[in-house]
């Protein structure tokens, strides 16, 4: 079926001549980027601190907000069971995601080399390459989406294993990120239903049943934390800022950083290059096809990719570059797979193209990794300082920024400063038998904050000063 796209590859073809061998080259370059970018020196980001605290041996779990899923933390349970080392965590994530990516690439082999070129360019783009060592569900959702596309567009002869795989992937997606899964499963189901060649009732049922099971797992966990739907929805309303808008330009601006929030430094055209290639591939595919027949893999990947961008582009003000990773992966594979549909002569220039692309993206990757490492190092240093002050006693930290990151490094219970320093001081002072507590703010305290107590200045790096207020054990 999908072999009509061109370049179908028989199992008898040596591995080094298959499209997936190109992905091996791309993954090897990702490893080089991560090692050269000193991933072991990059401390945990906010979300990573929350998730890793759930499983890291000897650490106090940070309460999960309504939109979070414990399944994300369980992905790293084998690491957390034996160590709290961030280096081991990142090495584990890099190895596992590399193996998963190669498995997806191998399943895409019969479709043709174009999809592997698209997958390789996605992996080597600065942001996806960075997230290969991040404890974040977004790249996992991208891999799940690609795996579903591969299984549905090019089924195995043994339909039973495909049904099991489809159900498992739908369930895993829903248990990791229910909102993303809704768009993923809805789009895949719609394309399968509307495309005669893909319309298999058993597969549609397996996908829907697996997704419902995953949502049930997520709900049981969420309700166990909040006790009721009302409490769950109330917390979700506080955490997620939903508002109709159109945020394409905003996302373009952050492709070279910051990883969260909005653009501060203008647009880097090298960072935008992957999306320019996707748009060019769409144009080439449309011109070449001329309305002729298209392999099911193309509309499937393209439709699902567009669907998975809708929520973040139109419906939420919370911004992070990782939110668009699933859409990015699927659009890259679909568009470039459609534009580069013929295998003849491609292999001679695909590797040089991938290497040249990687060199260009490295000029974005290294500053991005360096900036993130520097920003997060402050939180680790602050946490280490609090651990010294607490001297092994149970402790609490309330921070203006990076509360869970500081809490992980200090192994203190962490919370935000809400609504202000004065109210937080009163709440911490009134808490019984909880050991010393600390309030951490960026910069020197203002006049109102100075009245609360004597803050100690603490210089972290490059002259940046934080202030720490210690509340003695009650």
DSSP annotation of 443: S
Strand order through the sheet with 437-442? 413-416, 396-399, 437-442, 464-471, 456-461
- Looking up tokens 């072991």 gives 40
pLDDT at 12: 55
Residues 379 and 466: beta-carbon distance below 8 Å: no
Return the ∠ at Cα 145 (arms to 140 and 147), rounded to 5°.
95
Residues 6+ apart with CB under 8 A from 170: 148, 181, 185, 206, 207, 208, 209, 210, 211, 214
pLDDT at 1: 38
Tell which residue, 264, 283, 287, has the closest CA to residue 275: 283
Give the torsion sign (CA, 67, 69, 70, 73): negative
Residues 158 and 198: beta-carbon distance below 8 Å: no
Angle subtended by helix axes 86-107 and 138-153, to nearest 10:
20
- Strands (E) across 351-451 are located at 396-399, 413-416, 437-442
Give the three-state DSSP class for 393. coil
pTM assigned to the model: 0.90
Give the torsion sign (CA, 134, 137, 142, 144): positive
Give the pLDDT of the chain (474 residues) as one tens digit per residue.
344 333 444 455 555 556 788 999 999 999 999 999 888 889 999 999 999 999 999 999 998 887 788 889 988 999 999 999 999 999 999 999 999 999 999 888 877 788 899 999 999 999 999 999 999 999 999 999 999 998 988 777 667 888 999 999 999 999 999 999 999 999 999 999 988 888 889 999 999 999 999 999 999 988 888 887 787 777 767 766 677 777 888 888 888 777 776 666 667 888 899 989 998 988 887 776 654 445 667 778 989 999 999 999 998 887 888 999 999 999 999 998 888 765 555 667 888 999 999 999 999 999 989 988 888 999 999 999 999 999 999 999 999 899 999 999 999 999 999 889 999 999 998 887 778 999 999 999 988 888 888 999 998 877 789 999 999 876
DSSP states of 235-268: HHHHH--B-----HHHHHHTTTS-SBS--SS---
Torsion of CA 469, 436, 386, 80, to 10 degrees: -140
Residues 430 and 422: beta-carbon distance below 8 Å: no
Residues 313 and 189: beta-carbon distance below 8 Å: no
DSSP states of 151-204: HHHS--S-HHHHHHHHHHHHHHHHHH-HHHHHHHHHHHHHHHHH-GGG--HHHH
- For the chain, the domains span 2-344, 377-471
pLDDT digit string (tens) for 447-471?
Answer: 888 888 899 999 887 778 999 999 9
CA distance linking residue 66 with residue 73, whole number of Å: 15
CA distance linking residue 205 with residue 434, whole number of Å: 51
Across 274-293, b (16+ Cβ under 10 Å) vs e yields bbebbeebbebbeeeeeeee
């Amino acid at each position: 079926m999908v072999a009509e796209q061109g370049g179908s590859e028989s199992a008898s073809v040596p591995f080094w001549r298959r499209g997936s061998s190109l992905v091996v080259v791309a993954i090897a370059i990702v490893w080089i980027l991560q090692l050269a970018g000193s991933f072991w020196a990059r401390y945990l980001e906010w979300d990573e601190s929350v998730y890793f605290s759930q499983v890291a041996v000897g650490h106090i779990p940070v309460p999960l907000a309504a939109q979070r899923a414990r399944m994300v933390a369980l992905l790293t349970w084998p690491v957390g069971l034996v160590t709290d080392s961030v280096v081991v965590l990142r090495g584990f994530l890099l190895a596992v995601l590399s193996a998963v990516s190669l498995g997806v690439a191998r399943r895409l082999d019969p479709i043709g080399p174009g999809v592997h070129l698209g997958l390789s360019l996605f992996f080597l783009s600065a942001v996806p390459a960075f997230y290969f060592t991040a404890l974040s569900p977004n790249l996992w959702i991208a891999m799940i989406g690609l795996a579903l596309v591969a299984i549905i567009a090019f089924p195995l002869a043994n339909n039973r294993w495909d049904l099991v795989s489809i159900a498992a992937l739908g369930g895993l997606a829903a248990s990791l990120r229910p909102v993303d899964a809704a768009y993923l499963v809805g789009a895949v189901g719609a394309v399968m239903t509307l495309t005669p060649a893909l319309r298999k009732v058993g597969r549609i049922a397996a996908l829907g049943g697996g997704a419902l099971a995953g949502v049930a797992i997520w709900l049981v966990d969420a309700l166990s934390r909040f006790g009721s739907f009302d409490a769950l929805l109330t917390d979700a309303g506080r955490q997620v800022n939903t508002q109709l808008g159109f945020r394409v330009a905003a996302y373009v601006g952050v492709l070279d950083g910051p990883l969260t929030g909005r653009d501060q430094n203008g647009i880097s055209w090298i960072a935008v290059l992957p999306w320019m290639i996707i748009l060019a591939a769409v144009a080439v595919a449309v011109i070449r096809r001329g309305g002729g027949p298209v392999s099911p893999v193309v509309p499937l990947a393209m439709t699902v990719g567009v669907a998975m961008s809708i929520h973040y582009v139109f419906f939420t003000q919370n911004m992070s570059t990782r939110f668009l990773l699933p859409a990015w992966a699927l659009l890259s594979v679909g568009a470039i797979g459609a534009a580069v549909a013929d295998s003849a002569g491609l292999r001679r220039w695909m590797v040089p193209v991938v290497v040249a692309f990687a060199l260009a993206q490295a000029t974005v990757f290294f500053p991005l990794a360096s900036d993130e490492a520097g920003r997060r190092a402050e939180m680790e240093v602050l946490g280490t300082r609090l651990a010294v002050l607490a001297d092994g006693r149970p402790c609490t930290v309330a921070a203006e920024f990076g509360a869970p990151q500081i809490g992980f490094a200090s192994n203190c219970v962490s919370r935000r400063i809400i609504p202000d320093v004065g109210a937080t001081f009163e709440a911490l002072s009134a808490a019984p038998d909880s050991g010393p507590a600390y309030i951490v703010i960026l910069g020197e305290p203002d006049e109102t904050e100075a009245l609360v107590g004597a803050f100690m200045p603490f210089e972290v790096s490059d002259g940046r000063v934080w202030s720490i207020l210690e509340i003695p054990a009650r």
